[in-house]
């Protein structure tokens, strides 16, 4: 009988797949990073407990094109500075990706707030334009020109905070208490340039990053970097405390109640 592809895989096949994924070469991306100060009360308002604001109310936008073999990938994120249990890092509010493959692992394994979107990184000579867009709206856009090279930073470790959860089958909350994930990334940079320009935030009902206004631009760069990541569950969190923030993950929070029409299965 021909192999049934939906059938169970052997232990050897599973082990080979894990080994292959653990030996991936460095994957380099070209991306724009914008960091700005916003209003402290805004940062505090978007952080679910037990996350807390840091001393500076910072927002960071990453807009990148990733050199994956065989196909290009657009990847982005908008995050606010946060801390938990003595660890400082970033809490992403939205992470647009240009293809489904980039969504699945991040959302299901780490709890990343990834959504399909359109990512643009363009450079013509010294002129740079980068944007994150969904539903036809470029809700974050960077425009400017490269004016100088910057010293390469030493390899560094950065932390992102995610909440991993499953909405309850009956729509009452969650199937189990959510978990808080610390995701650490080892980052290496091989090229870095400074941009003189600005960050434009456009109103979007689906991605309301415009609620985090640019009060002072702290950093605007374009560079080439590679990262790896490892996640760790650090604690279970209160479902009741997290539930008011669940809308951050979805364009329409009611979509978690969507199911097949009666009689369709």
- 248 three-class SS: helix
State the burial class of residue 97 (Cβ atoms within 10 Å of its Cβ: 0-12, 13-18, 19+). Answer: buried
List the structure tokens of 117: 């979107």
Percent of the chain at pLDDT > 90 equals 73
What CA–CA distance (Å, rounded) separates 158 from 87? Answer: 10
Mean pLDDT, range 66-94, rounded to an integer: 92
**Residue-wise pLDDT tens digits, 200-231:** 999 999 999 999 999 999 999 999 999 998 99
User: How sure is the predictor about 170, in pLDDT bands with cuts at 50, 70 and 90?
Assistant: confident
Q: Is residue 260 classed as helix, strand or coil in its secondary structure? A: coil
Residue pair 246/173 in contact by the 8 Å Cβ criterion: no
């Amino acid at each position: 009988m021909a192999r049934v592809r939906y059938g169970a895989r052997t232990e050897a096949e599973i082990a080979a797949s894990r080994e292959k994924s653990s030996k991936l070469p460095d994957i380099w991306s070209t991306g724009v990073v914008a960091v700005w100060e916003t209003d402290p009360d805004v940062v505090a308002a978007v952080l679910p407990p037990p996350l807390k604001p840091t001393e500076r109310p910072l927002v960071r936008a990453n807009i990148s094109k990733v050199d994956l073999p065989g196909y290009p990938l657009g990847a982005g994120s908008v995050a606010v500075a946060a801390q938990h249990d003595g660890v400082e890092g970033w809490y992403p509010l939205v992470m647009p990706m240009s293809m489904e493959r980039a969504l699945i692992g991040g959302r299901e394994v780490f709890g990343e707030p990834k959504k399909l979107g359109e990512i643009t990184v363009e450079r013509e000579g010294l002129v740079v334009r980068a944007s994150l867009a969904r539903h036809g709206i470029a809700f974050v856009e960077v425009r400017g020109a490269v004016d100088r090279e910057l010293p390469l930073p030493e390899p560094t470790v950065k932390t992102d905070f995610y909440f991993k959860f499953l909405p309850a089958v009956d729509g009452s909350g969650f199937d189990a208490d959510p978990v808080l994930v610390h995701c650490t990334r080892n980052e290496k940079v091989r090229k870095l340039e400074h941009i003189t320009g600005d960050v434009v935030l456009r109103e979007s009902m689906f991605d309301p990053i415009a609620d985090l206004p640019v009060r002072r631009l702290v950093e605007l760069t374009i560079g080439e970097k590679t990262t790896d990541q490892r996640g760790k569950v650090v604690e279970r969190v209160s479902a009741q405390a997290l539930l008011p923030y669940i809308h951050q993950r979805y364009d329409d929070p009611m979509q978690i109640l969507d199911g097949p029409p009666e009689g369709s299965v």
